[in-house]
Amino acid sequence: MTTRFSLAELADMLHEPVERVRQAVDTLAAAGQLTAESFMFGGRNWRIAPTDVKRIQDWLGVHQPDTHGVHERRRVVRKRVLPPAGSGQTAGEP
Span 19-43, pLDDT tens digits:
999 999 999 999 999 999 999 888 8
**Averaged pLDDT for residues 58-64:** 90
**Averaged pLDDT for residues 64-69:** 62
**Averaged pLDDT for residues 32-60:** 91
Residue 11: what are its φ and ψ, rounded to 5°? -60, -40
Q: Look at the alpha carbons of 10, 14, 20, 23 in this order and tell me if their dihedral is positive or negative.
A: negative
Contacts of 37 (CB under 8 A, 6+ apart): 2, 4, 49, 51, 52
68 has pLDDT over 60? no
Look up the pTM and report it. Answer: 0.65
- Stated length of the chain: 94
Pairwise pLDDT comparison (91 vs 73), residue with the higher score: 73
Pairwise pLDDT comparison (25 vs 88), residue with the higher score: 25
How do the domains of the chain map onto residue ranges? 7-62
